[in-house]
Structure 1
Amino acid sequence: MAEVMGSCHCGAVRIILDAAPETVTECNCSICRRYGVLWAYYAPNRVRFEPSEPVTDTYQQASRTLAFHRCRTCGCVTHWAPLAGRDPNRMGINARMLDPIVLAAAQVRHLDGAVTERYID
């Protein structure tokens, strides 16, 4: 498998994935619909960041189970990392940071994160 790279708009946060996502998730929960993201899920050991400690700010929703990271310079949401109560082996990468050709090859799934927490497609 070939590595895939992506970055925020200014390039300060670079993401290296061990493989392109086969699926991405569009979620309609209150935060994801506002961010306009498409999530690609990976185990943290399949993702590298350059720099290794990316220059991001974080936001934690009320339940404090996810930390949403955004570039400090350009503001792009790059990923979320799990906090207490979440699977530590799963993180979400904003697939919109990837090259459009990579994103076009992925199947888009629709998650009803607002109500049922189930895929609706």
Structure 2
Amino acid sequence: MMGEVTTHSGSCACGAVAYEVDMALDGLIECNCSHCYRKGFVLGFVEPEAFRLTAEGPQTEYLFNRHKIRHRFCNTCGVQTFARADGPDGNPKVAINVRTLTDIEPWSWNATRVDGRSF
């Protein structure tokens, strides 16, 4: 069952990178790969048109492992709010770091653990 899609706001810690995203807080994942686990990501995936940057401060891109996911993080505070990549079906996706949503209660969501370390 799909949750209700609503518009959420998010940002990095210093606010230089901010966004709005239309998403439901279901289907979230927590990955144990060396990148996601160390950063504590909880990820939700949306179509690019559901994601809008509202403040685009200086950012750096990090390409990890197979260099297919373009991880973006704030140059000032270092927080990664989102990443861009193609989904398994080849269509573009935006991965939202749910921990950067500013309008929800922490731990008000559930995430499925994914064994990304074994990929």
TM-score above 0.5, yes or no? yes
Q: Does 1:31 align with 2:42?
A: no
For 1:4 and 1:102, locate their aligned partners in 2 and report how far apart those are by CA, in whole Å: 12
1:44 aligns with 2:48: yes
- Structure 1 position 78 matched with structure 2 position 81: yes
Q: What stretches of structure 1 of length at least 5 have no aligned partner?
A: none
Identity of aligned residues (%): 29
In terms of fraction of residues, the more strand-rich structure is 2
1:74 positional shift: 0.6
Matched residue, 1:113: 116
> What is the root-mean-square deviation of aligned Cα atoms in Å?
2.3
Q: Structure 1: how far apart are the matches of 2:105 and 2:45?
A: 15
2:45–2:95 contact (8 Å) kept in structure 1: yes
Displaced runs of 4+ in structure 1, greater than 4 A?
none
What TM-score, normalized by structure 2, do the two folds share? Answer: 0.82
User: Shift of residue 102 of structure 1?
Assistant: 4.8
Counterpart CA distance in 1 for 2:106 and 2:45 is 13
Matched, 1:11 2:15: yes
1:73 CA drift (Å): 0.9
Structure 2 unaligned regions, length at least 5? none
